[in-house]
Amino acid sequence: MYRQKYLFLLPGLLVLVAIILFPLLFTIRVSFSSWDVYNPGLNWIGGENYGRLWEDARYWQALGRLTLLSVTTVLIQYVLGFALALMVWRDLAARRLFRVLFLIPMMTTPVVMSVLWRTIFHESLGPLNPILESLGIGAAPWLSSAGWAFAAVVMVEVWQWTPFMFLLLLAGLLSLPNEPYLAAKIDGAGPVRTFFSVTFPMLGAISVGAILIRLIEASKIMETVYVLTSGGPGTSTETSSYYIYIRGMRDFQIGYSAALSLTYLIIMIVALTVIAKLLVRALVKDAA
């Protein structure tokens, strides 16, 4: 009965196979080959690529750096986004203005924005260092020193993606019922206690959602690093996706980069699942 229903599912299924399933399966197969620019083709070399990957310190360093970068940026974005949302939550007139204002960074194309920031950070031509100097803080080697370059990437990421956090948390705040706030007032709670006892717990689920979405996005960071620092100086801002890009698209070690991609995919799936569970346990305390 109703066997034709599968016919209607077919177009979607085909698209799914074409853009997700086939590339994934093909990548798995490629990762067991030594396909590179000299010997293109699907030969079989067993787990050689994975053995090499295991000993590739640069890959693991990039992964560690990515972890640090994602956690730092997402944490800062969350705190800033929450603060901004709380600021414009109650006042309707200001809310309309700020909502648009805050969203501009998010709507800008990452590459364009990174080029802009590269100009701003430029040590001799950019406007940032002269401003810092005039304030008496002193110039910084923004893109030529390891620590400063990492900070620059963090800053750009925070600048671009805080609006996203802001938007989600503001939507969450606007959906909160008013009665708990009245009750807290009657019970004698001040603003700080009200925040920690009422607002924050009620936004737990939304916080977990927002943080996870941003963590997933942040772990794919590519454009900012590519345009701003190209992973440098040295490899000090090189993240996993950028390293995989270098091996695959610059060195044309297709087989090896396929192995890197797959490992990266599995680590991400496992890590994000664990993080999601931990976050739910830590933040969502009001589920019935």
Nearest-approach distance from CB 286 to other proteins, in angstroms: 3
Residue 192 interacts with other proteins (CB under 8 A)? no
Tell me if 162 sits within 8 A of 80, measured CB to CB.
Answer: yes
From residue 141 to residue 180, the character string flagging contacts with other proteins as x (rule: CB under 8 A) and all else as - is ------------------------------------x-xx
Nearest-approach distance from CB 75 to other proteins, in angstroms: 21
Structure tokens that stand for 36 in this block: 């590179």
Residue 61 interacts with other proteins (CB under 8 A)? no
Phi/psi of residue 277, nearest 5 degrees: -65, -45
Q: Which stretch binds other proteins (CB under 8 A): 90-98, 114-122, 198-206, 223-231?
A: 198-206
Q: Which stretch binds other proteins (CB under 8 A): 61-69, 110-118, 168-176, 197-205?
A: 197-205
Residue 189 interacts with other proteins (CB under 8 A)? yes
What is the rounded CA–CA span in Å between residue 99 and residue 108? 15
Residues whose CB falls within 8 Å of the CB of residue 247, separated by 6 or more in sequence, listed in order? 253, 256, 257, 260
Q: Residue 86: helix, strand or coil by DSSP? A: helix
Residue 287 interacts with other proteins (CB under 8 A)? yes
Closest CA to 228 of 154, 174, 282: 154
Residue 12 interacts with other proteins (CB under 8 A)? no
Q: Which lies closer to other proteins via its Cβ, residue 103 or residue 280?
A: 280
Nearest-approach distance from CB 200 to other proteins, in angstroms: 8
Residue 188 interacts with other proteins (CB under 8 A)? yes
- Which stretches within the chain are classed as H helix? 5-16, 22-30, 48-54, 57-88, 92-107, 110-121, 128-134, 146-174, 179-187, 191-194, 200-202, 204-218, 223-228, 240-245, 254-283
- Judged by the rule CB under 8 A, the positions of this chain that interact with other proteins are 177, 179-180, 182-190, 193, 197-198, 201-202, 204, 285-288
